[in-house]
Amino acid sequence: MDPIQLIQFDTAHQPRAYVNSSVRFHHIFSDADRLQAAKKAGWNVFQFPSEMLLGGDLLSDSGTTTLTAEQVAAMFLGDEAYGSNYGYFKLLESFAEVFGIPQEESEVFLFHQGRAAEHALFTQVGKWGKGMIIPGNGHFDTTQANIECNQMTAVDLFLPELKKSDYHPFKGNMDLERLEALLKEKGDHIPMVYLTITNNTGGGQPVSLENIRAVRKLCDEYGKPLFLDVCRFAENAWFIKNREEQYKNTPIPEIVHETFALCDGFTVSLKKDGLTNMGGALLIKRSSRIIKEHEALLNDLRDHQILTEGHPTYGGMTGRDIMVIAEGLRTVVKEEYLNSRIGQVHAFGEYLEKNNVPVLTPFGGHAVYIDVNRFFEGTKHKPEDFGGVALTALLLLKGVRLCELGAFAFGHWDKEQQKEVLPSNNFVRCAVPRNKYEIQDLLYVADCVIELHKKRHEIPRAVPVHGRELTLRHFKARFELGEIK
Ligand code: F0G
């Protein structure tokens, strides 16, 4: 008997890449307790107490990671010195190693989270002229807001395939034809091109290296810097390895280096692939043309950082946070981690799909997106009944939290016309925190969604009773649930 021969079989289930070293038990609440809390919160998911959730808090994958034992150990080495703490140097080493950009080539600015880094960058870029446009493959809402509050326009050049149900391996790619047309027509007003990997606004879809390289080539032809938003750079690299034929044998760390070699700089929220609970950064390569063309840039950025975040060597973070990031970046590029992480998101999505819940496919790396318009097809629901909000409201009662990113979050109320202006996408997002849940938790979430899908004709409408006309209204609004007419 050859023992190795005997174990040559496939299994339906795969082990995770890790085991739990610390757990937190749920507190016990009744349906009635949750109903009372949901009403008090005006059915707004952001206002609902997280302690009442039952292992299905899929509101965001941002800052919600469970730390590894190595990160917890590193945290104890956090040095809370005001200037040049120990972790700062460890973080710079980690950046150089993981991103492949040598320390002597990079100007690194630390911030407490991604949007603070975007704010610093676009406050400076906004000074370079009037009527400027920043083209991207799909700006995240904070990026768009930071561009627009500095009197520039954020233009999203989504691939047309994103809207289609047919398979495309890289639906997050930039539409190159429209980018070239824009550079040709309005090049004088374009200070930089911005590429978000993976494309969170575009359904969490990945961007291919071929596309990043083609964008770089266009940037070079038209003399423009290329900046990346790299919140989910490691997950993007996993897709490149698994879907771009020529990279199937390339190790993930090398794909990451190739990606970063193509940019002039980047902004990042380290709360995603930094595997941390708080942190962000802006990095500009010293070789970038923007440093030569804008002499004051680096000094002005340092001033901005000192005014808003503190000394550049801690940038709004504690020494402990910094140590956790330095360690997390080394874990996130491990293939066994990424296989387990993205495999879990996909298993969750496939279960929903198999049970007839309309979801955006192929699945991205960090979330599964429920297509709200298709979910309510054949019912009396209209998009302005905010069925996506009503679905997330009812799920709170089952201890599950998802996030509407559609008619309510991205639409707005037109005061003059007294009607809703609807966005083109209408999703409910199930964002999966890293290293936090077991597949059983996600299948419970899916079961709740599947049952409500069967009862979709009975789902009420969500009526905004406060905040309909406000900016960023999804964070602030209150609703009542009303009969569907
Ligand atoms: N860019 C992208 C692509 C993001 O997904 C986010 C945040 C940010 C920038 C801003 O980073 O939150 O650290 O200030 N996304 C979170 C989400 C909030 O739920 O998708 P931040």
CATH number for position 150? 3.40.640.10
Looking at residue 404, its pLDDT comes to: 96
Pocket mutation for ligand 1, best pick of 233, 271, 282, 472 (most atoms within 8 Å of C-beta): 271
**Rounded Cα distance, 342 and 422, in Å:** 31
Looking at the fold, whether 363 and 236 belong to one and the same domain comes out as no
Counted domains in the chain: 2
Nearest protein Cα to ligand 1, atom 12: 114
Looking at the fold, whether 252 and 343 belong to one and the same domain comes out as no
**pLDDT per residue as tens digits for the range 435-469:** 999 999 999 999 999 999 999 999 999 999 999 99
**Strand locations in 137-252 (E):** 153-156, 193-196, 226-229
Looking at the fold, whether 279 and 348 belong to one and the same domain comes out as no
Instruction: Pick the more confident residue, 201 or 433.
Output: 433
Length of the chain: 485
Cα 192 to middle of ligand 1, angstroms: 20
End of a domain among 332, 367, 400?
Answer: 332
Atom of ligand 1 nearest to the CA of 270: 13
Q: Within a domain: residue 155?
A: yes
Q: Is 196 in the pocket of ligand 1 (CB under 6 A)?
A: yes
Average predicted confidence (pLDDT) for the chain? 96
Looking at the fold, whether 311 and 374 belong to one and the same domain comes out as no
Looking at the fold, whether 428 and 387 belong to one and the same domain comes out as yes
**How many Cβ atoms from other residues are within 10 Å of residue 277's Cβ?**
18
Q: Is 329 in the pocket of ligand 1 (CB under 6 A)?
A: no
- Token pair 């069967």 is found at 454
**How many Cβ atoms from other residues are within 10 Å of residue 162's Cβ?**
21
Looking at the fold, whether 130 and 268 belong to one and the same domain comes out as yes
Q: Is 229 in the pocket of ligand 1 (CB under 6 A)?
A: yes
Q: Is 426 in the pocket of ligand 1 (CB under 6 A)?
A: no
Phi/psi for 479 (5° steps) reads: -130, 160
Looking at residue 165, its pLDDT comes to: 82
Cα 261 to middle of ligand 1, angstroms: 23
Atom of ligand 1 nearest to the CA of 61: 19
Q: Within a domain: residue 482?
A: no
Pocket mutation for ligand 1, best pick of 110, 134, 140 (most atoms within 8 Å of C-beta): 140
Nearest protein Cα to ligand 1, atom 5: 200
Pocket mutation for ligand 1, best pick of 269, 271, 434 (most atoms within 8 Å of C-beta): 269
Nearest protein Cα to ligand 1, atom 4: 140
Q: Which of 339, 328, 344, 337 is nearest to 437 (CA)?
A: 344
Q: Predicted confidence band at 471 (pLDDT cuts at 50, 70, 90)?
A: confident
Looking at residue 284, its pLDDT comes to: 98
SS3 content of the chain, % helix, strand, coil (to 5): 45, 15, 40
Cα 456 to middle of ligand 1, angstroms: 31
Q: Is 114 in the pocket of ligand 1 (CB under 6 A)?
A: yes
Q: Judging by DSSP bridges, how do beta strands 265-269 and 226-229 pair with one another?
A: parallel
Q: Within a domain: residue 114?
A: yes
Atom of ligand 1 nearest to the CA of 142: 10
Q: Are 89 and 317 in contact (CB under 8 A)?
A: no
Q: What are residue 367's DSSP bridge partners?
A: 431
Q: Which of 215, 170, 192, 187 is nearest to 267 (CA)?
A: 192
Looking at residue 434, its pLDDT comes to: 97
Looking at the fold, whether 45 and 95 belong to one and the same domain comes out as no
Radius of gyration of the chain (CA): 23
Phi/psi for 440 (5° steps) reads: -55, -40
Q: Within a domain: residue 121?
A: yes
Looking at the fold, whether 244 and 198 belong to one and the same domain comes out as yes
Q: Are 451 and 375 in contact (CB under 8 A)?
A: no
Q: What does pTM read for this prediction? A: 0.96
Looking at the fold, whether 167 and 89 belong to one and the same domain comes out as yes
Q: Which of 54, 64, 62 is nearest to 27 (CA)?
A: 54
Looking at residue 201, its pLDDT comes to: 86
Q: Predicted confidence band at 115 (pLDDT cuts at 50, 70, 90)?
A: very high
**Rounded Cα distance, 439 and 351, in Å:** 11
Interval 90-119 mean pLDDT:
97
Looking at the fold, whether 187 and 266 belong to one and the same domain comes out as yes
- Token pair 């005997």 is found at 6
Q: What residues make up the domain containing 235?
A: 69-332
Q: How far are the Cα atoms of 209, 210, 261 from residue 458, in angstroms, in the given order?
A: 45, 46, 53
Looking at residue 425, its pLDDT comes to: 82
Looking at residue 467, its pLDDT comes to: 96
Pocket mutation for ligand 1, best pick of 272, 369, 427 (most atoms within 8 Å of C-beta): 272
**Rounded Cα distance, 407 and 280, in Å:** 29
Q: Is 316 in the pocket of ligand 1 (CB under 6 A)?
A: no
Tell me: pLDDT of 13 over 90: no
Interval 183-203 mean pLDDT:
95
Q: Within a domain: residue 62?
A: no
**pLDDT per residue as tens digits for the range 323-353:** 999 999 999 999 999 999 999 999 999 999 9
**CATH number reported for the structural domain that contains residue 419 in this entry:** 3.90.1150.10
Q: What 3-state DSSP class applies to 304?
A: helix
Interval 239-248 mean pLDDT:
97
**Rounded Cα distance, 293 and 385, in Å:** 50
Lowest mean pLDDT among 10-14, 103-107, 206-210, 479-483: 10-14
Looking at residue 485, its pLDDT comes to: 81
Q: Within a domain: residue 9?
A: no
Q: How far are the Cα atoms of 17, 56, 61, 440 from residue 434, in angstroms, in the given order?
A: 12, 13, 7, 15
Q: Within a domain: residue 206?
A: yes
Q: Is 62 in the pocket of ligand 1 (CB under 6 A)?
A: yes
Atom of ligand 1 nearest to the CA of 201: 3
Tell me: pLDDT of 406 over 80: yes
Looking at the fold, whether 32 and 89 belong to one and the same domain comes out as no
Pocket mutation for ligand 1, best pick of 122, 200, 368 (most atoms within 8 Å of C-beta): 200
**pLDDT per residue as tens digits for the range 309-325:** 999 999 999 999 999 99
286-310: b (≥16 Cβ within 10 Å) or e: eebebbeebeebbeebeebbeeebb
% of residues, the chain, pLDDT over 70: 100
Cα 114 to middle of ligand 1, angstroms: 6
Q: Is 271 in the pocket of ligand 1 (CB under 6 A)?
A: yes
End of a domain among 332, 347, 381?
Answer: 332
End of a domain among 288, 311, 332?
Answer: 332
Cα 342 to middle of ligand 1, angstroms: 18
**Rounded Cα distance, 412 and 419, in Å:** 9
Looking at the fold, whether 274 and 379 belong to one and the same domain comes out as no
Interval 56-82 mean pLDDT:
97
Cα 229 to middle of ligand 1, angstroms: 10
Tell me: pLDDT of 55 over 80: no
Q: Predicted confidence band at 227 (pLDDT cuts at 50, 70, 90)?
A: very high
Q: Within a domain: residue 215?
A: yes
